[in-house]
Amino acid sequence: MSKTITYFYLLLPLFFILSSCGLSTEQGIEPIKLTNSYFATTASISSTPEPTIALTKTPTLLPTSTVSPSWTPLPTLPTNDADQQFRSWMHGAPDCLFPCWAGITPGKTLWEEAIHLLAPVIDLRTTNELSRCRFGECKTLSWDFQIQNNLFYGEIYSKDDIIYSIYLEGDQATKELNLQNIFDIYGVPEKVFIITSPRGIAGDPPMFFLYVLYPNHNFVIKQVWEAQVNEKNIRACGNPESFSLGIVAIDEDQWTNDEIYQTGIQSEVGSPNSDKLQPLEDVTNMSIESFYKEILNNDPSFCIVTPVKYWP
């Protein structure tokens, strides 16, 4: 082989190397270089934290805050709808039996929540300033509400911004709060009391007061008649002239005679007449069970009769 050919083959690899370098530069394609910028790019991609499973303690349940949430006002209901809603509250709706009333449960419902629930139906009078009640400092909601000829008056008291008691009275008997309906829903009452006098109480004409207590549902119903009096007996006959409902956030064993006599009113301190409450079975010829059955029979001629001798 000639020396010329030999030199050609020796120089051929060098030719290709120089050609490739010139091509890369001319076309603007930089060869891959392991530079610091490369590692910086790699580091920025791999710096995204991987999801990890943290071992945390089981959260401790804190006491429920008594701070009232913000309650958005609801629109006022039309009159017919408001009347229907109020009637459904009277004896306790199926999803809100006593001690729940109108969605409010004494001992649980917040003050502002009660206003939120009642305002679409009732024109409320609110007292945000603290007053003095039998159980301590309190705030008061009150209202008047009329359905046809029936006028109702109500008060709700709060304790530490929690509803403590509900009081409702009406100037006529209603089908929602008559004893037959109450007995049908809540069963046999635990206690029934009477207070009356042949000469009236505190100079008033003779009246007949009946108190029906359900301490397991935290309420008492009071019904009032103008008494019929003769030499031997005092009678309460027919439909009562008025009624009241008291719901109080107390334990069953806290229903004292004074609490029963007040029927939920908390603004008065003590009552001079609470000691005059007499158990039904002690001053009539009926037991609570027989009285319960008589009421359920709905006999229009039925009267509650107590001898005058028991009422000096």
pLDDT by residue (tens digit) across 246-287? Answer: 999 999 999 999 889 887 776 666 667 788 899 999 999 999
Rounded (10°) CA dihedral 277, 278, 279, 280: -110
Count of CA atoms in the C-beta half-sphere (13 A) of 194: 27
Whether the pLDDT of residue 62 is over 50: the answer is no
Q: Report the pLDDT value the prediction gives residue 54, as an integer from 0 to 100.
A: 36
| Alpha carbon distance 169, 14 (integer Å) | 113
**Residue range of the domain that includes 243:** 79-310
User: How many domains does the structure of the chain reveal?
Assistant: 1
In the chain, beta strands by DSSP E: 125-133, 136-147, 150-159, 162-170, 191-196, 207-214, 219-226, 228-229, 233-237, 242-248, 278-279, 303-307
Whether residue 31 lies inside any domain: the answer is no
What does the block give as tokens for 131? 């007053």
Whether residue 49 lies inside any domain: the answer is no
pLDDT in tens, 200-218: 777 778 999 999 999 999 9
Whether residue 269 lies inside any domain: the answer is yes
Q: Report the pLDDT value the prediction gives residue 18, as an integer from 0 to 100.
A: 43
| Alpha carbon distance 149, 152 (integer Å) | 10
- The chain-wide mean pLDDT, for the chain, equals 78
3-state secondary structure 237-302: ECCCCEEEEEEECCCHHHCCHHHHHHCCCCCCCCCCCHHHCEEHHHHCCCCHHHHHHHHHHCCCCC
Whether residue 4 lies inside any domain: the answer is no
Q: CA angle, 154 as apex, 152 and 158 as ends, to 5°?
A: 170
Count of CA atoms in the C-beta half-sphere (13 A) of 170: 23
State the residue for tokens 């629109």: 75
Whether residue 221 lies inside any domain: the answer is yes
Whether the pLDDT of residue 40 is over 70: the answer is no
Whether residue 1 lies inside any domain: the answer is no
Whether residue 143 lies inside any domain: the answer is yes
Whether residue 72 lies inside any domain: the answer is no
Closest CA to 177 of 209, 221, 213: 221
Q: Report the pLDDT value the prediction gives residue 94, as an integer from 0 to 100.
A: 77
